Chain A
Amino acid sequence: MAKLNTNSNVYTIVYATIVVIIAAFLLAFVASALKPTQDANVENDRKSQVLASLNLRDQADIEGKYNEVIKEVVYLSETDSCFKAEVDGQQKTVIPVKGAGLWGGLWGYVAVDADGETVFGTYFSHESETAGLGARIAEQWFQDSFKGKKLFKDGEVALGVYKQGKAPNGLETDYYVDAVTGATLTSNGVDQMLKTSIAKYVEVLKGNAAPVADPNEGVTVEVEEYEVVPTIDHPVEPKVEEMED
């Protein structure tokens, strides 16, 4: 075999092209082969989060329990939907909440009793809050502290998260939980998230919402691929690392 000049320009360009094409095909193949399994995992994770808000944590059969408990999905618009659930014969409404913490996104679910006012359970998670501080909102003790709290006062969403002794004057302890120590900004994020997200579902909770039809219904498969189903993903965005608070 004739010795190739591996330093020539033509060889370099052809070589780079071939390497990139091979890599591209390989990646496309792996990504499309594994996509169904990955989507199933994401969906499963979302279901376990909804169940956690209904105080059904660590279920062995997430799929089965979810189908048993969740009775109906109520669509308010293309992007907003909540769930009607039944736990031990009691009606619950599960509201998805979404907001921003100190470093990245926050999300979660709030399950509300049939009276449309009392919190039955919550689940929160986060993208990248500080471990040991803001990340503690994902721990059960914090989420359980919401149990039995009230959502509305004087027609406004009052449920909040405040530093001990820093709640607005005259707000009874029925309407707020204590913030996580050392994580003021994350706690404020949860507070804001609850207020803005729950406000969207006031009518549903009062029982006089006018739900729209399932926007996924009658949509061709082709479009469904791009449909944003209300699932929670874990966006990975490049971000600048800054000092912790």
Chain B
Amino acid sequence: MSLFSKENGAIFTGPLNLNNPIAVQVLGICSALAVTSQLKPAIVMGLSVTVITAFSNVIISLIRKTIPNRIRIIVQLVVVAALVTIVSNILKAYVYDVSVQLSVYVGLIITNCILMGRLEAFAMQNGPWESFLDGIGNGLGYAAVLVVVGFVRELLGFGTIFGLTIIPEGAYMEAGGLYINNGMMTMPAMALILVACVIWVHRAVNKEENK
């Protein structure tokens, strides 16, 4: 079986769209609400989850035949926890401001349902390469939703994108204009509503496949 066969392509693209972890499986919502108030932490969080899912998938897949069945969840947790700690250390060393913004949520990747779900449902039964593709696909599927939500929340909540001002200063009430930032967008509750909107649009577009 070649590395880029149709089956492997489907493993990769499935979670991006028709089997999206957030939009279809509704997993990983907790962190999606917490880190999306601005675009930059949302992207870093998405990438971190992608990297951790992919590599923990590969590691578990490589040792899947040796793992004692009774402690398999514990072994999976050790692998994920070790990877998360490493990523968290790297963030602290190289993108300090982002790691401050993400604060506890990097550590909480360990409890992200997407990771444990992929390890248990996919990596335990499949080879390393397929598991790698599955991990990347799921991570990016998760990241895509985070980016959409983060974009809308930062634009409407702060009037900025990546910290750059988009809404002209003169348009604000303070400067005599009519515009005011929507403080609701900075609250996690609005993220839940936005995620629901994403799921709604996704279901509406993919009506046929969902039946």
Chain A contacts to B: CB under 8 angstroms: 4, 6-7, 11-12, 15-16, 19-20, 23, 26-27, 30-31, 34, 37-38, 41-42, 44-45, 128, 131-132, 234, 236
Given the interface pairs A15-B67, A27-B82, the reply to whether A34 lies near B92 with Cβ below 8 Å is yes
Which residues of chain B (64-80) have a CB below 8 Å from chain A? 65-71, 74-75, 78-79
Q: Which 6 A-B pairs have CB atoms at the shortest separation, nearest pair first?
A: A41-B96, A132-B186, A37-B93, A12-B68, A34-B93, A23-B82
List the A side residues contacting B117 at CB < 8 Å. none
List the A side residues contacting B68 at CB < 8 Å. 6-7, 11-12, 15-16
| A84, B65: Cα distance in complex, Å | 64
A234: min CB distance to chain B, Å: 6
Beta-carbon contact of A38 and B93 below 8 Å: yes
Instruction: Mark contacts of B68-111 with chain A using CB atoms, 8 A cut-off: 1 yes-contact digit, 0 otherwise.
Output: 11110011001101100110011011101100100110010000
List the A side residues contacting B170 at CB < 8 Å. none
List the A side residues contacting B81 at CB < 8 Å. 23
Beta-carbon contact of B78 and A20 below 8 Å: yes
Beta-carbon contact of A16 and B71 below 8 Å: yes
Beta-carbon contact of B96 and A45 below 8 Å: yes
Chain B contacts to A: CB under 8 angstroms: 37, 65-71, 74-75, 78-79, 81-82, 85-86, 89-90, 92-94, 96-97, 100, 103-104, 107, 157, 183, 186-187
Beta-carbon contact of A23 and B67 below 8 Å: no
| A26, B81: Cα distance in complex, Å | 12
A145: min CB distance to chain B, Å: 14
Beta-carbon contact of A12 and B86 below 8 Å: no
Given the interface pairs A19-B78, A26-B82, A132-B187, the reply to whether A31 lies near B89 with Cβ below 8 Å is yes
B158 to A, closest residue via Cβ: A132
Total CB contacts across the A-B interface at under 8 A: 72
List the B side residues contacting A20 at CB < 8 Å. 78
| A16, B78: Cα distance in complex, Å | 10
| A12, B96: Cα distance in complex, Å | 39
Beta-carbon contact of A128 and B103 below 8 Å: yes
| A15, B89: Cα distance in complex, Å | 27
Beta-carbon contact of A6 and B69 below 8 Å: yes
Beta-carbon contact of A27 and B78 below 8 Å: no
| A236, B68: Cα distance in complex, Å | 34
A136: min CB distance to chain B, Å: 10
A138: min CB distance to chain B, Å: 11
List the A side residues contacting B93 at CB < 8 Å. 34, 37-38, 41
Beta-carbon contact of A19 and B107 below 8 Å: no
Partner of B103, one of A26, A41, A45, A236: A236
Output the residue of A11, A44, A132 with the most chain B CB within 10 A.
Answer: A132
A16 to B, closest residue via Cβ: B71
Beta-carbon contact of B187 and A7 below 8 Å: no
B75 to A, closest residue via Cβ: A19
Partner of A34, one of B65, B71, B78, B90: B90
B169: min CB distance to chain A, Å: 13
Beta-carbon contact of B69 and A7 below 8 Å: yes
List the A side residues contacting B70 at CB < 8 Å. 7, 12
Beta-carbon contact of B71 and A37 below 8 Å: no
Given the interface pairs A38-B93, A132-B183, the reply to whether A30 lies near B86 with Cβ below 8 Å is yes
Output the residue of B37, B66, B81, B89 with the most chain A CB within 10 A.
Answer: B89
Write 11 A-B pairs (CB below 8 A) sorted by A numbering.
A6-B67, A7-B69, A7-B70, A12-B68, A16-B74, A19-B78, A23-B79, A34-B92, A131-B187, A132-B183, A132-B187
